[in-house]
Amino acid sequence: MSVLSGIHPVAEALRAARPLDRILIAQGAGGPRLQEIIDLARRAGVPVRFEPRSALERLAGSSAHQGIVALGAARQYAEIDSLLESSLLVVLDGVEDPHNLGAIVRTAHAAGAGGIVIPERRAASVTDVVAKAAAGALEHLPVARVSNVNRALEELKRAGYWIYGLDERGAETYDRIDYAARSVIVLGGEGKGLHEQVRKHCDLLVRIPMAGKISSLNVSVAAGIVLFEWRKRAAAP
């Protein structure tokens, strides 16, 4: 867990869209600059709480916190370049639920993936909730955060990856594919699936054939089914 304190550092972190878990403001503190931070935080979806000054001092390690402390994810994000050694990468196109993101990190690590790529906007970032759901896997699996998923997919293609998008309209079923030696699995957001542009960037759209009367699975369950199919085939002699 990283701790930022003071008006300027916290405002900057919010403007740079750095992943913040929550913001604490000293009870009784106020003024236009704090109000501006509260507004920025609301727009960014970062929770704001009012706490006694003593709590802020303890967290900031000093009394020079100007009435504001932000708690951020401890993890630094990886650069996408640093992931290109891996034979399996996972790209998430807008997974919003932090429990799902955490479960996918845990699953991807257990399936042998070398990294996850997530978008900066309209998606869960790596917070404490994610770390908890990932059950320790975040310590081992690098996460890259990109401003544009389509551009990231183009970069991965240039690096020799074959891009498989999971889509209920996919032409092939996930279990009849001879996965490439360097595979990227792309998963869409809850209830929305892949964006049209992202779908066009995939080399192949694959689906999971299902019984029953509902048309989709929880995204972390779908990730498990496809990633472990990849793993089985990669581990096969």
Question: Which positions lie near a copy of itself, rule CB under 8 A?
Answer: 99, 103, 106-107, 109-112, 133, 135-137, 139-141, 175, 208-214, 216-218, 220-225, 228, 231-232, 235
Q: Least CB distance from residue 151 to a copy of itself, whole Å?
A: 28
Cβ nearer to a copy of itself, comparing 20 with 90: 90
**Lookup: tokens for 82:** 């640093």
| Residue 38 burial (CB count, 10 A) | 16
Nearer to a copy of itself, 111 or 117 (CB): 111
- Of 189 and 224, nearer to a copy of itself (C-beta) is 224
Q: How far is the CB of 221 from a copy of itself (least distance, A)?
A: 4
| CA atoms of 174 and 207, how far apart (whole Å) | 6
Structure tokens at 86: 């891996």
**Nearest CA-CA partner of 93 in 162, 21, 176, 196:** 196
How near is the Cβ of 132 to a copy of itself at its closest, in Å? 12
Q: In what order do the strands lie in the sheet with 183-188?
A: 143-146, 115-119, 88-93, 183-188, 162-166, 204-207, 172-173
Query: 37: alpha, beta or left, given left = phi > 0 and alpha = psi -120 to 50?
Result: alpha
State in angstroms the smallest separation of the CB of 22 from a copy of itself: 21
Nearer to a copy of itself, 43 or 176 (CB): 176
Q: Which is nearer to a copy of itself, 88 or 205 (CB)?
A: 88
Identify which of residues 17 and 181 has a Cβ nearer to a copy of itself in the complex.
181
Three-state secondary-structure class, residue 206? strand
CB of 62 to a copy of itself, least distance (A): 36
Of the pair 43, 213, the CB lying nearest a copy of itself is at: 213
User: Smallest gap, in angstroms, from Cβ of residue 232 to a copy of itself?
Assistant: 5
User: In whole angstroms, how close is the CB of 212 to a copy of itself at the nearest point?
Assistant: 4
